[in-house]
A and B are shown apart, each in its own frame.
Chain A
């Protein structure tokens, strides 16, 4: 057993890819804070789960940090005002999504004062109960800032219930180009560690393992300095390999335990949070500040001045780019607009989309960069197996895509379609440049649609049955009422001897 472990360590990590990271010089430039824009566009669904429900009226004045929309349902997160101003509309705005479709959103016009609402902080947060920390995190609308935007409070409370043993903090930031987590760890390591300790308190976990890729030596040094003397939090340098920042991979590297295929990390007593989330949790609990701004990376060869920028949620990507220094040659060489990282981010059709809680980067890529990542001429599959070796989940991408191409989506499931994390390693290494991830996204969407149809059919059946019952019940009641009337009439006729005519509309 020991020998096998040693052997695995010597062999190194087989999965994943190692693209050129392009993180510097953006990572080394100091953070710039962007002033508040005139208008902020705040989608009601910036997280996984149910959309938030607006609690403000058009024309209402709000102050910075005030609740605009409340969480709705078990998995949801509220939305707060990123600045003080007036609600001008509750309408639809373009979503940061490849489809170019819209999302319901609140549009806020800033008044320029930027004054805070009353904040309910806490000077001694470690005296709070775990449930109270969870409530405060939920009220602040904190979601996972690594990109998936899962409501953090739901995860913390669930972890406390599942009695997880370890908290894994994701400082991997394996996506090329992005450096916002790196910057956070360099600049605010003590605050992050404070946030991690709050998370430990909220989940009841005994230890926290922070995984940071070894291509960020400054971040590792800063975090190591910040945890000096705190035994529960450990900093681990992990090999820089994409997708190290994916939760299942990071857990396996840090703890040696593999998350089962159809399970969640909590099943093996672990939960994963991002370093940025830890910082947001600290702000929410200590200062009572809701999540109204975030750090994001503006990068790509088309960007004039790549760097990390502190941006209010709801700012248009267009304005962020203009603040960052604009595009080279007025954007003539622009080949692709990406929100998020180049591997898993979404390609958007235009820059007029708002920054949301999960936006980790805005990339303006030129043709040479796009050629290096995707968008090349597709050739037939030569069954070389590169994708199988690269897949961090141990799936068979070539078999899945061949079936999906024929429209046999369900046949791809035995090869692991449901475990696919859409990291893009397979498409990255494919010598035939097959857009494998797009195939998988397509199949997942179609399968979800089929499942939706199935549920809908079941609901229809139930509704039809209920209607049938209602119709029968009404007929029965009518018949009974008629019988009663008849009996009453007969009784009346027998008593007074005159015809009953009080019911002009017998039906």
Chain B
């Protein structure tokens, strides 16, 4: 099995519906010749990707195709087997101030003495050492962040009592604490209902429109963000393809990527992939 890309990585096409790349902006994030191998298995190789300010990139693929590892590489927590990751022109490193990170929703441990606003506060001062005294400036910043994501009403409730959607809004606020130029999202809509999926993805979309923040969005289901995505990076079977959604999410492109016949259906504005091997029909519910 040759882990070569089936499609040459294409530069971002200019798209009218989003701010997209300006005339000649420096990319916020660049991957040059990136490869990731675990033992004999190559997850991907020869990956070149430039993410420009205000661009929304969806990373799609089944479990085990290295989506999350790619995100970890951008965070400086996963070494690539080959190639390099540049954030703002410098090698990725842990704790980069210009990166906001939104993880998937998870259960808050019952013994957690934190309220909604404290989750956001950790984004502001969570890595600061010294006596845990919060300044007025920090509190005002948290209030502003809470207001920006519409979480003010439940900010003083115990974290563990909040719904998944409410928690994710708070995590979006937390990720914006340092005014990041790049937002890395790892399945932020996982286990949310449709209503909150829409709410949270619209928050992220609004952020990139208003502040030209680049977004890399790892997801198993592209449908909730289909209208926002500029480009798709589709990982499968040690290969990948990059392009606009309507260039990549097509039967012939995915069939070639998987090396087996795959059908892509469009139904009421949703995309459904049928026939992908190892059951990774990850673009919507397949009956």
Do A and B truly interact? no
